[in-house]
Amino acid sequence: MRPELEALARELVSASYLKGDFVLRSGKRSNVYFDKYLFETRPAILRQLGTYLAELLPPETEVIAAPELGAILLGGAVSLETGKPLVLVRKEAKEYGTSKALEGRLEAGQKVTVVEDVLTTGGEAIKAAEKVRAAGGEVLMLVAVLDREEGAADNLRAAGLDYQPLFRKSDLPLD
């Protein structure tokens, strides 16, 4: 691993690695948790994540997609780093106004990379990619800050998604 990524890994752990009893989005229980909001809300870390996640994007990416709420800041950082437009993927289409599942502009056939935060099983990431596909986008890849190594990679592959995490849990300097 590059020295600057090793330093960022240490910062992520310092900022967001918690021990206790947690229920994950997947429904699984865990004695460790990576609180994405604790690292995404720190400007220095967010800026670096935007830079390094941008490096993972396929060059043909035309649009960045970020699921709400956790990946919105990450998607914004990658969008600012690359100059590529961002679409926001809602968990549920809003019931008022335009009633859209995606916010922002996505034209049919545009090549999209989905940006995510912390993945356990990848279930929500798969749902976000399906919404992008349903809106006419061609999902090239999904990139994420952290793979907890609890099934996300296999599930994403099974859903036909290319996937690249910036870090895997085994990459991090945990006690």
Buried b (16+ CB within 10 A) or exposed e, 3-24: eeeeebbebbbebbbeeeeeee
pTM confidence score: 0.94
Q: How many domains does the chain have?
A: 1
Rounded distance between C-alpha atoms, residue 1 and residue 66, angstroms: 26
Taking CA atoms, 65 is separated from 27, 30, 41, 165, in Å, by 25, 28, 19, 15
pLDDT in tens, 137-152: 999 999 999 999 999 9
- 25, 26, 60, 66, 100 from 148: Cα distances, Å: 12, 12, 28, 19, 31
- Residue 24's CATH number: 3.40.50.2020
Q: Domain range spanning residue 147?
A: 3-171
pLDDT tens string 56-78? 999 999 999 999 988 999 999 99
